[in-house]
């Protein structure tokens, strides 16, 4: 399904998608991107965590060796 989603709620910038028992969280400010949230599906959580660790390492000058 391809459908536009309007994000609203107590936190207007957070979207939680439930697919069966799997949960995926996104931060939508202004574009929706993965968010690290306990309870998310393992693959979704790990991908967001790894991406955050790489970005933080790069910001601290510890980018991947070439």
pLDDT digits (tens, 9 = 90+) for 7-50: 666 666 888 888 888 999 998 888 888 888 889 999 999 998 99
Judge whether 53 lies within some domain.
yes
Whether 9 maps to a domain, the answer reads: no
**In whole angstroms, what is the distance from residue 21 CA to residue 40 CA?**
10
Largest CA distance in the chain: 44
- Cα 24 from Cα 33, distance rounded (Å): 10
Domain that holds residue 23: 14-57
Residue 21 lies in a domain: yes
Is 53 within 8 Å of 46 (Cβ atoms)?
A: no
**Considering the entire predicted model, what is its pTM?**
0.59
Q: Has residue 1 been placed in a domain?
A: no
Domains contained in the chain, number:
1
């Amino acid at each position: 399904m391809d459908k536009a989603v309007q994000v609203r709620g107590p936190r207007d910038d957070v979207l939680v998608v439930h697919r069966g028992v799997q949960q995926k969280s996104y931060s939508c400010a202004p574009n929706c991107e993965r968010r690290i949230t306990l309870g998310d599906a393992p693959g979704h959580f790990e991908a967001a965590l790894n991406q955050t660790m790489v970005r933080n390492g790069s910001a601290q000058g510890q980018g991947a060796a070439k």
